[in-house]
Each structure stands twice: as structure tokens, then as C-alpha cells.
Chain A
Amino acid sequence: MRAYADLHLSPSLDDVANARSMADLLVELQTRVVGLVVPPQRLTPTPPIVDSFKSAGIDVAKRLNLKPSSREELLRSLRRFRSKYEIVSVECRVPSVSRVAVRDRRVDLVYFPKQQLGSIFRGNLAKSCRAALEFNLSELTSGPDFGAGLRRLRREIEVAAEGSTTVIGCTRASNLFELRSPRDVAAILHLLGLPLSAAVRAVSDVPLEIVEKNRLRMAEPGLEDGIRVLRRSADDE
């Protein structure tokens, strides 16, 4: 059976009852891994809702949402927080930030909020994009102009396909009513122009690989992609 992931959940960190009901529903929807937004000041001690998800059998990856207003601020934040989080995403509100965020290997996900005028995923960004482009369902379901939202996401997915950029789908749910089945999110991505196999991978294999890769990096900071520890000398152990 395929395992699904939703790498963008932002429930209140103190509302355990809400988290528990979300966790129960996520189990029913076959979601195995969730990305929980935890701001740096709440990183330790671990927020109580993390245990609610874990006790339901869901793997929790801590996620940091960076919203830098300049390139320098982005680089400073990445230096400071990268090693503490399993997922780092950057909200690209200004072009100078977008240009750096898409190329920096420390960034896992980039997303382009619809409210910002300068925030557009263009072809030149797609060509050099090493991070995955995040599609949030809440961008489509909230806000007044549904048609404009559809057009914008369709264009983003077209550009991503031209530049061979990886796409992932998330819900950005903060409560039970904003949660959706990952397979349904894949259906929307498919209707927006992504091939069905890529759309299903965008809610299953791709996010799971991101989390796995970063956990390996956190456990073994010296290791890079494609390098595995086969055995250790007796001195190391």
C-alpha cells in the first residue's frame, strides 16, 4: 500500500484536542508522515501536539517556514536553523529571495504566495530550481477569486514541467475542516496539468524522500547525497 505525506500542517501547537482529531483523520487517509510547522522559539521543549500525532502512528517532521524579505536575511536564517529542522521551506515574496532560494541546496521547498505581486515562479527560476515547488491547497480554497487562483497554479505547474522542477502537494491545514486526502490533492494537481503518476508521486514518494534525505543529513552531517556508511572502523565506535 502506498504511503502518503502532507508536509505542511500548521495547527495551533497548544491545542491537543484539535491535533488528536486531525491525527485520527490522517490515519484514516493513509498519511504516514506530516510536516508540522514549529517556529524556532517553540522547538524545545517539544510541543505537546507532536505526541498526539506520534501516538496515532504518524511520523512527525519539524518544518520551518522562512519568510525573508532579503537575500541576506534568508542566508542568515539558513545558517542558523538548517541543522535543526527536517524540512525548510521559503516563502518567495521578492525576486531577490526567490533567485537564491531556488538554487540553495539547504532549501527543501519553495512556494509563491498569491497575495504578493512580485512573487511569480518564472521560467528562469524553474531552470535553476533545486528545491521542490510546493502547491498548497489552501491557496485555492481560500480567497475570493477561485478562477484566478486556478489560472495561476496552472501556469506555475506548466513552468515547473518545462524546467523539470519537482512539485509537491500539501494542504496547509490548521484544523480538521482544512484537511484533505493526499490522493485528492493529487487529483487537483493532475487537473492543473501534472501527469497522474507525477501528481501521485507529489504527495507520496517525493515528500517522503525529502524527509528521509534530511534525516540522514541530520544524523550524519558529513554525508552527502549518494554516500552511505557501509562499515566503521573500531576506533570510530
Chain B
Amino acid sequence: MASESSGGQPTTNRNSQRYLLVRFITKDAVTTKVIEQTVRRSVEDMVGKLGSAEMNVRFIGFQEADGRAVFRCKSGSVERLRAALALVTHVDGNPAAAMVLRSSGTIKALKVRIPRRRRSAA
């Protein structure tokens, strides 16, 4: 019982995850919601809805001040997420670029303080 994770699965049974630190370069300031939607759309354009579900991409947070965001995905899907991010050319109708600065197995190793997005109570 002690070895069970918060998700209810034993630690040994959990899927391996990777965290990506992504830098967004935009002309105007953008909100967290817009960034999340843009990446979701780009992933779906690239691999479709089924592929997107398999990648299990989770948006962790976004720092508006310096345009850095953290995403999480399945460890086997890092290349697909990198490719989808590289294909982002516009955010909210304005030219933009997204590039992965670092990839890590733990969020701690990224050494950034990104405000975690709260899950809605619904």
C-alpha cells in the first residue's frame, strides 16, 4: 500500500513521462489558455486526435513574463511533441515560434518555477 502512487497505480506500473521546457516567442503578450489551445491544435494537426490521445500531452504551466512553458508527455512521444511544437507558427493570429529548451524525466530538473495550473473543480 505504501508503494502506491497518487494515481492509484503501483509505482512500478506507471508509464514513464518526460517533461519539456518550451520557450514561446510571440509579438504580443499571450495568455496561458491561448498557449494551451495552440499546442493542442498543433499536436492534433500533426498526429490526429488518436495520436494526440496516445501521446498523453499535459500542459503543466506557463510563465507569461518570459514566455516559458512546461509540458508533460509519454516518454516515447517526446519527438512527436517536439515536432508539433516546431510547427507552431502563429499564436492568436500573430507570428510566433516555440522551441524546446530542455527535456527531463522530472519536473524538478528543469529548475524553473512555473505556476501550476489549477484543475477546475468541475
Q: How far is the CA of A229 from the CA of B45 in the complex (A)?
A: 53
A136 within 8 A of B: no
Contact of A187 among B27, B45, B79, B89 (CB under 8 A): B79
Task: Check B30 for interface membership: any CB of A closer than 8 A.
Answer: no
Residue of B nearest to A142 (CB): B89
Size of chain B's interface in residues, with CB distance under 8 A? 20
Chain B residues contacting A16 (CB-CB under 8 Å) are none
Spot the interface stretch: A45-53, A57-65, A112-120, A188-196. A188-196
Residue A145 is within 8 A (CB to CB) of chain B in the complex: no
A28 to B, closest residue via Cβ: B101
CB atoms of A184 and B25 under 8 A apart: no
Set of chain A residues within 8 Å of B78, measured between Cβ atoms = 187
B80 contacts partner chain A, Cβ-Cβ < 8 Å: yes
| Nearest CB in chain A: distance from B88 CB, A | 9
| B61-91 interface with A by 8 A CB criterion | 78-80, 82-83, 85-87, 89
Within 8 Å of chain A (Cβ to Cβ): is B97? yes
| A185 and B97 in contact, given A28-B23, A176-B25, A196-B79 (Cβ under 8 angstroms) | no
A183 an interface residue at 8 Å Cβ cutoff? yes
Interface size on A, residues (CB 8 A): 21
Q: Closest approach, in angstroms, between the C-beta of B68 and any C-beta of chain A? A: 11
Partner of A180, one of B46, B79, B86: B86
* CB-based nearest A residue for B80: A191
| In the complex, per-residue mask of A129-165: 1 if CB is within 8 Å of any chain B CB, else 0 | 0000000010011000010000000000000000000
| B82 / chain A contacts, CB cutoff of 8 Å | 183-184, 187-188
Indicate whether A13 reaches chain B with its CB closer than 8 angstroms.
no
B100 within 8 A of A: yes
Give A85 Cβ to nearest chain B Cβ, in Å.
Answer: 28
In the assembled complex, A29 has its CB within 8 A of some CB on chain B: yes
From A140, A146, A177, A188, give the contact of B25 (CB < 8 A).
A177
Asked, given contacts A140-B87, A180-B97, A184-B100, whether A190 binds B25 with beta carbons under 8 Å apart, the answer is no
Is A188 a contact of B83 with CB atoms below 8 Å?
Answer: yes
Report the bound CA distance from A92 to B86 in whole Å.
Answer: 26
Residues of B near A140 (CB, < 8 A) are 87
Contact A187 B83 (CB under 8 A): yes
B95 at the interface (CB under 8 A from A): yes
User: Complex formed: what's the CA distance from A191 to B86 in Å?
Assistant: 12
The answer to whether the Cβ of A179 comes within 8 Å of any Cβ in the partner chain is yes
Distance in Å from the Cβ of A28 to the closest Cβ of chain B? 7
Beta-carbon contact of B97 and A178 below 8 Å: yes
Task: Give residues in A with beta carbon < 8 Å to B.
Answer: 25, 28-29, 137, 140-141, 146, 176-181, 183-185, 187-188, 190-191, 196
What are 12 pairs between A and B in contact, CB < 8 Å? A28-B23, A28-B101, A29-B99, A141-B89, A176-B97, A181-B86, A181-B100, A187-B82, A188-B86, A191-B79, A191-B80, A196-B79
Instruction: Given contact pairs A184-B86, A187-B79, A188-B87, enumerate 4 new A-B contacts (beta carbons under 8 Å).
Output: A184-B83, A187-B80, A188-B83, A190-B83
